[in-house]
Amino acid sequence: MAKKIYLGMIGDIMHPGLINIIREGAKYGDLIVGLFTDKAIANHKRLPYLSYEQRKRVIENIKGVSEVVPQDDWSYIPNLKKYKPDYIIHGDDWKSGNEQELRQEVFEVMNEQGGRVIEVPYTKGIDSSSLDKEIKSIGTTPDIRLKSLRRLIKAKPIVRILEAHDGLCGLIIENLEIKKGLKNASFDGMWSSSLTDSTSKGKPDIEAVDLTTRMQDLNNILECTTKPIIFDGDTGGKIEHFVFTVRTLERNGISAIIIEDKVGLKKNSLFGTDAVQTQDSIEGFCNKIRAGKNALITKDFMIISRIESLIAGKPVSDALERAFAYVEAGADGVMIHSKNKSGEDIKEFCFAFREKHPLVPIVVVPTTYSQIYEEELCSWGVNIVIYANHMLRAAYPAMVKAATSILENERAAEAGEYCMPIKEILELIPGTK
């Protein structure tokens, strides 16, 4: 009987290095490719451009590959135990860097099972990570970007979104990555906030900045990023206008719009009952959701209904009644908002909502209950956490400090400590030189 050899791969960007390792592996027997699923990848790297099925089609047609099976975990161990290969093959690049522990456990399990680990010299000058950087500089397509939010919701325990009001915020969210033990942490996408879009223009958050203006800013973000964007659609406006809004966003590759169930002059929710917050009737808001869904071209764009009951001082039972009706009307998810500092009302809502709808995505915006960790939100059943205003709030105090310092000192030297170095700003944007 032919020997079995296992090769794990993401297989998103094909290059000669991968063909080399497939060839080498096939010399030992039947080559099983363990193809990483979105779920296996999501906590470690960005999602592949191609879906699992698309990558599978490519890999299973490469000469030397006998079979493609899903690898659902970043660790090789579950599949090594399941398929019990005689060999596993891997590039020798995992001897250094943060894959060393993965390598260690693979050796242990292969030894236990009487198998062997084959390490092949890494093909110099070409690897998926540097190709990935180059692809990023080319950008993405509206279609791939649009779909990526639904994929992330499926693949990740919780999707982490940060507010972006300009291209610079977009670049930070796109590129910032920190190491946390064996994992990398990064943001999954961007929130186009009505509060920060308005504030950055010196306007109040009352739907005074029109869609055309907001699209101009969004376009700057779209040009320099590839991650998904969730658009804060305020009340969605008149139904007759809303249908055009969803189409514009969908056409531009935005993944979702969140609309809140309020009518009249919209005031920011964080005023709570200090401002008049008039909610739409359930029927009226359901009609808006239905009209939006009917206007869409794709099945991928999400219309998420935002429930303002807790903001308006009403009980969780009112929020639930509305949430159930909105989902019935076709909403692709719900956002529950509150300005309560404990987060208890949100938790109560999430548990009750989850009993009826185990899978409909829940979105939260923990601005006032910011002490709650993502892991806890996740345990309540939350799918998306939005940090809704932090880039603008972080920038403003630094700008005031720098301006104050110049006034106090009548020169700019002292303001330097609040500013990024000139060298850094010149190197920040590729092509500046």
- Whether the CA torsion 193, 197, 199, 205 is positive or negative: it is negative
Q: b/e per residue, 208-242, with b = 16+ CB within 10 A? A: ebebeebbebbebbbebbbbbbbbbbbbbbebeeb
323 is an interface residue for ligand SPV by CB under 6 A:
no
Among 221, 217, 133, which residue's Cα sits nearest to residue 172?
A: 221
- Span interacting with ligand SPV, options 31-39, 175-183, 191-199, 418-426, rule CB under 6 A: 191-199
Count the residues of the shown chain that bind ligand SPV, applying the rule CB under 6 A. Answer: 11
Q: How far is the CB of 279 from ligand SPV (least distance, A)?
A: 14
389 is an interface residue for ligand SPV by CB under 6 A:
yes
Residue of the chain from 128, 148, 193, 277 that contacts ligand SPV (CB under 6 A): 193
Please say if 205 is a catalytic residue.
yes
Site string for ligand SPV, 207-246 (x = CB under 6 A): -------------------------x--------------
Tell me which of 12, 86, 188, 205 is the catalytic residue. 205
Instruction: Please give the Cα distance from 209 to 243 (Å, whole number).
Output: 18
200 is an interface residue for ligand SPV by CB under 6 A:
no
Q: How far is the CB of 270 from ligand SPV (least distance, A)?
A: 5
Helices and strands (H, E) in the chain, number of each type: 17, 17
Cβ–Cβ < 8 Å for 79, 50: no
Structure tokens at 416: 């330097």
Residue of the chain from 232, 261, 280, 345 that contacts Mg ion (CB under 5 A): 232
Residue 402: DSSP 8-state: H
Residue 33: DSSP 8-state: E
Residue of the chain from 71, 194, 200, 383 that contacts Mg ion (CB under 5 A): 194
Residue of the chain from 388, 391, 392, 405 that contacts ligand SPV (CB under 6 A): 388
Residue of the chain from 128, 367, 383, 405 that contacts ligand SPV (CB under 6 A): 367
- When CB distances to Mg ion are compared, the closest residue is 194
Cβ–Cβ < 8 Å for 102, 76: yes
Q: How many residues belong to the chain?
A: 433
Q: Among residues 232 and 345, whose Cβ is nearest to ligand SPV?
A: 232
Q: Among residues 55 and 267, whose Cβ is nearest to Mg ion?
A: 267
Residue 203: DSSP 8-state: -
Dump the DSSP string for 122-143.
Answer: --TT--HHHHHHHHHHH---HH
Interface contacts to ligand SPV, rule CB under 6 A:
193-195, 232, 268-270, 365, 367, 388-389
Interface contacts to Mg ion, rule CB under 5 A:
194-195, 232
Active site residues: 205
